[in-house]
């Protein structure tokens, strides 16, 4: 039988854990987007050696499970003098993981912008920085927004793995509830509902942003 009273009594702890989950998710996603952007710029506009130097780590991260990466970072870090608390390790791991994927999205966006748009901007007197800020980034953001939202949703789901290294996030708290009171059904039902609500909120915000940015929609040439 579903024990609602138990869930209510445990609610303050669940809310605190939810706050940690949201904080790590948003911070990791934002830092991943920023780091991924600079990686994409370096690979796109840097020299061939720079591209090859960055290609290896990106492919390594994309080709290995996040669980393995977070284990190596948290438990293997001390072997190279990198001792981090669980939350810091979780945030750093999530940032690096996200940056590899976001960088590929940014890079595909740079490739997708028609050359004619860039050439036209340069012809009317915009310098490269102005072209990037006023032409490339708005069009690329509109183009990549659905993929960025999907990746950010995946980042949210990956936060559950951080419970493995004892980050005090939602999955760890729900697991503790199940272990202590044998309330696995109640706990994981709440966990599923909360993640569903966060995913739907993120999707709704993405759709809103897409409507707002629709004026930058362009036809590929």
Task: Dump pLDDT digits (tens) for 8-30.
Answer: 878 888 899 999 999 999 999 99
The CA distance from 90 to 82, in Å, is: 13
Domains in the chain: boundaries: 4-216
Determine which of 9-23, 29-43, 67-81, 136-150 has the lowest per-residue pLDDT on average.
136-150
Length of the chain: 221
Query: Which is more confidently placed, 39 or 47?
Result: 39
Confidence of residue 169 (pLDDT cuts 50, 70, 90): very high
CATH of span 4-216: 1.10.3720.10
Half-sphere exposure of 154 (CA within 13 A, CB side): 14
The rounded distance, in Å, linking the Cα atoms of 40 and 109 is 9
Instruction: Count how many Cα atoms sit within 13 Å of the Cα of residue 45 in the half-sphere of its side chain.
Output: 10
**What is the average pLDDT value for the chain, to the nearest integer?**
88
Q: What's the pLDDT score for residue 221?
A: 40
70-82 confidence digits (pLDDT tens): 999 999 999 988 8
**Cα-Cα end-to-end distance for the chain:** 60
pLDDT of residue 87: 94
Asked whether the beta carbons of 169 and 159 are under 8 A apart, the reply is: yes
């Amino acid at each position: 039988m579903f024990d609602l009273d138990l869930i209510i009594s445990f609610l303050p702890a669940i809310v605190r854990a939810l706050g940690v989950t949201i904080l790590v998710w948003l911070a990791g996603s934002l830092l991943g987007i920023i780091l991924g952007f600079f990686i994409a710029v370096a690979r796109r506009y840097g020299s061939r050696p720079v591209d090859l130097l960055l290609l290896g780590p990106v492919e390594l991260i994309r080709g290995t499970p996040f669980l393995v990466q977070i284990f190596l970072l948290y438990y293997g870090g001390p072997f190279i003098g990198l001792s981090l608390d669980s939350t810091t390790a979780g945030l750093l791991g999530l940032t690096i993981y996200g940056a590899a994927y976001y960088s590929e999205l940014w890079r595909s966006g740079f490739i997708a912008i028609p050359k004619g748009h860039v050439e036209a901007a340069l012809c009317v007197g915009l310098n490269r920085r102005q072209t990037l800020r006023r032409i490339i980034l708005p069009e690329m953001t509109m183009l990549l927004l659905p993929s960025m939202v999907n990746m950010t949703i995946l980042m949210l789901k990956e936060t559950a793995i951080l419970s493995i290294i004892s980050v005090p996030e939602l999955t760890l708290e729900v697991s503790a509830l199940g272990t202590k009171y044998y309330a696995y059904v109640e706990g994981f039902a709440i966990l599923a509902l909360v993640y569903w609500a966060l995913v739907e909120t993120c999707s709704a915000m993405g759709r809103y942003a897409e409507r707002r940015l629709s004026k930058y929609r362009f036809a590929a040439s």
